[in-house]
Amino acid sequence: MDRKRYGEKAAWAMVLVATLFVLARLGTALPVAAQTGVHVVGTPTPTATSVAPVVDGIMNPSFETGDFSGWIVDTGGEGDLPSPVIWDGEGSIIVGQGDGEPPQSAWGPSDGAYCAMVPWLGCGPGVIRIMQDVTLPAGPRILLFDYRAVWALMGEYNSAPVAPLGFLPVADRAFDLVIQAAGGGGELARHRILTLPGGTVVPAGETLDDVPPQEDTGLMVGAVDLSDYAGQTVRLVFEWSVPDCRPYLAIAMLDNVRLVRPGDHTRTDVSVIVYGGWNDIPARLWVGGTEQETLYTATNAFGDAQAMWTLYPTGAWPVSVDVQLPAGLDPDQWELKLVRVSSPTLGYSNDEPGAAAATIMAGQQYQFVYQLISK
């Protein structure tokens, strides 16, 4: 092994140790891995389910057994990558330790007592996979799942240097949902869920203006239309790529994997609601990047300012919204804060949204809720 790659692996190992230390702090049920590539599962607490539940053909969809029962965990490729672990949510992932960085953030399972936590790092190239074969019901189905990620390109973690080799280029990393033939056969489709932008790892004590700060996506709901495979058995592969060998801190979460059935009709309502707002606040909506008609809020039956679009999606459509400050308000003193993304008909509410975006499907309702606040 040449000296440069040895140094990169050593620097990466420091990040891995730091990351596993963070994960170990997250809960007493999560021991530190002694080596990479080893399946690590903490001792289940009394809330763990002894028999893996099967919901709509998905076994152990929220990891409530306290382990990966029903799932296949794999770290493939040429690299040296850590395995995912089960986390019981005790503790916190800390983001933003210095001046000018985002505030601290703590997060855990989105459903039940457990979730899968992926140390999204290592000495690649390679991929980290969590997967299982699923026999889909007849008729259209949409796959929903909760995910979150945090990452940083700074060369230190909790003031400990982890990038001694100077400024290192870092490639983008991808989180994909891959559909394969049952048993791990040929790839049928690949859906990009999230990209962690690359850049340059900055060594401890240095600064670089164009290096992204530490990031936290917030809790997100992924959606993939599986209707083309109705009645078939396919392998669903959650895949996190690690394209290089860099001291790059990244952690991802996966939870609450479920299948939902679109409504019996195609009408879908997408609303923007502004708590503390009033009439005539402009609201904008994009469908797959195409901007729709700008609407203006009006007081609804609950006394809140609301604007609502009626759409007729086929399959799953990505949408995003934006709301402008009411005219006359100083943006240095006021802001519209996104506080919730929910679907009353599907029964989910994301109270820690990372973006004003969702994937909608026929026959449902979706709400983007903002709060007008004074800074």
Tokens of 202: 């900055």
Are 315 and 170 part of one and the same domain?
no
**What token pair was written down for 340?**
């919730």
Among 87-96, 215-224, 347-356, 357-366, the least confident range: 87-96
Q: State how many domains the chain has.
A: 2
Provide the domain limits for residue 298.
Answer: 268-374
Q: What is the mean pLDDT of residues 364-374?
A: 95
- Residues 179, 273, single domain; the answer is no
pLDDT band at 106 (very low <50, low <70, confident <90, very high): low
Are 362 and 265 in contact by the 8 Å Cβ rule? The answer is yes
CATH of the domain at 248: 2.60.120.260
Give the CATH number of the domain where residue 347 resides: 2.60.40
One domain for residues 212 and 318: no
Mean pLDDT of the 166-174 span: 85
Per-residue model confidence as pLDDT tens digits over 243-292:
988 877 788 999 999 998 887 778 999 999 999 999 999 999 999 889 99
Q: Are both 41 and 121 inside the same structural domain?
A: yes
- pLDDT score at 74: 93
Task: Indicate left, alpha or beta for 66 from its phi (over 0: left) and psi (-120 to 50: alpha).
Answer: left
Is residue 168 over pLDDT 70?
yes
Examine the pLDDT at 24 and tell me if it is beyond 80: no
User: What's the confidence (pLDDT) of residue 103?
Assistant: 38
**pLDDT > 70: percent of the chain:** 75
Number of H helices, E strands in the chain: 1, 28
Q: How confident is the model at residue 339 (pLDDT cuts 50, 70, 90)?
A: very high
**More confident call, 96 vs 118:** 118
Q: What is the pLDDT of residue 98?
A: 39
Looking at the structure, do residues 174 and 282 belong to the same domain, yes or no? no
Residues 245/114/72/125 CA torsion (nearest 10 deg): -10
Examine the domain organization and report whether 10 and 149 are in the same domain: yes
Same domain? For 76 and 154 the reply is yes
A 10 A CB-CB count for 19 gives 24
pLDDT at residue 40 above 70? no
User: Both 186 and 298 in a single domain?
Assistant: no
Q: Do 240 and 274 have their domain in common?
A: no
pLDDT at 326 over 80: yes
DSSP 8-state assignment for residue 5: H
| Residues contacting residue 37 through CB under 8 Å, at least 6 positions apart | 75, 80, 81, 82, 83
DSSP track, 25-55: HH-TT-PPPSSTT--B-PPPPTTS-SS--EE
Answer with the residue of higher pLDDT: 4 or 313: 313
| 113 and 221, same domain (yes or no) | yes
221: Cα separation from own chain's centroid: 7
The verdict on 209 and 66 lying in the same domain is: yes
Mean pLDDT of the chain: 80
pLDDT at 76 over 90: no
Based on the domain organization, do 229 and 298 belong to the same domain?
no
- How many Å apart are CA 8 and CA 267, to the nearest integer? 53
Tokens, residue 362: 């026929």
